[in-house]
Structure 1
Amino acid sequence: MGLVAQINPVADSLVGEWLSLPEVATRLGLPISRVKQLLRDRKLLAVTRPNGDRAIPAAFLDGEQVVKGLSSTLTVLFDCGFDDEEALRWLFTADETLPGTPIDALYKHRGTEVNRRAQALAF
């Protein structure tokens, strides 16, 4: 597992709403140990808040599930050499070719397009 990203003002302003691990567990209907496993498996991404607690962007959840395509996009980003903070920033930064942000496109079930753009970053 990579280093856990520290939240910074730029990431905080891009992401907006953050959820604690217990809040994510409740929304997903999973035990907190399973949420921690998703983080270890890099299927979700968390940052460390100033108080030391880890938090996950609320935008990573779509109702009672993880946004479809997020885990595969994270895999592509990490395979391209992104660290947690870079991946988070990329997901929440507007991309005029999508349009909108990659996380917005994932919500709209445009994971293939998002992953193509992520793969292009490696070249």
Structure 2
Amino acid sequence: MTATEWLAMPDLVDVLDESLGRVRRLIDEHYLIGSRRSGVFAVPSVFIVDGHPLSSLRGTIIVLQDAGFTDDEVIDWLLAADEELGRSPIDALLAGHKSAVRRVARTLA
């Protein structure tokens, strides 16, 4: 699994330069996804590029949630190496391979 820094809500407000309400809306609308693994809700920092949620993340989150994945399972899948992609899905998304990632995600349903 890709090692990543996790950003708690105050950090997200700073990094995204948005109000807390707007950050919560981004999460509610699936532009970002996070977890309470360490007791505090946090989002992997790799999901944010140049101060904005990675644009291809939302559709991928929705595909995985439609397949029955929990938020933790979505995050784990995005960060773990995938044999078919040859890297982690998040690395493939960052490289602009949204279609390949979603094709693999759809097979998980």
Say how many residue pairs are matched. 109
Q: Aligned partners of 2:88 and 2:14: how far apart in 1?
A: 26
Q: Does 1:81 align with 2:68?
A: yes
RMSD: 1.5
Q: Matched residue of 2:42: which SS?
A: strand
User: Contact (CA 8 Å) 1:14, 1:89: kept in 2 or not?
Assistant: no
Q: 1:67 — aligned with what?
A: 54
Q: Does 1:45 align with 2:33?
A: yes
> Structure 1: 5+ residue runs without aligned partners?
1-12
Deviation of 1:82 after TM superposition, in Å, equals: 0.5
**Runs of 4+ in structure 1 displaced over 2 angstroms?**
13-16
1:34 is aligned to 2:22: yes
Identity fraction in percent: 36
* In structure 1, C-alpha distance between the alignment counterparts of 2:107 and 2:91, rounded to whole Å: 19
TM-score, structure 1 length as denominator?
0.81
TM-score normalised by structure 2 residue count: 0.91
The Cα of 1:14 is off from its aligned counterpart by 4.3
CA contact (8 A) 1:68 1:109 kept: no
Kindly indicate whether the alpha-carbon contact (under 8 Å) linking 1:46 and 1:57 is maintained by their aligned counterparts in 2. Answer: yes
Secondary structure of the structure 1 residue equivalent to 2:30: coil
Deviation at 1:49, TM superposition (A): 4.3
The answer to whether the 8 A contact 1:68-1:106 is kept is no
- What aligned pairs does 1:1-123 form with structure 2 within 5 A after superposition? 14-50=2-38, 52-122=39-109
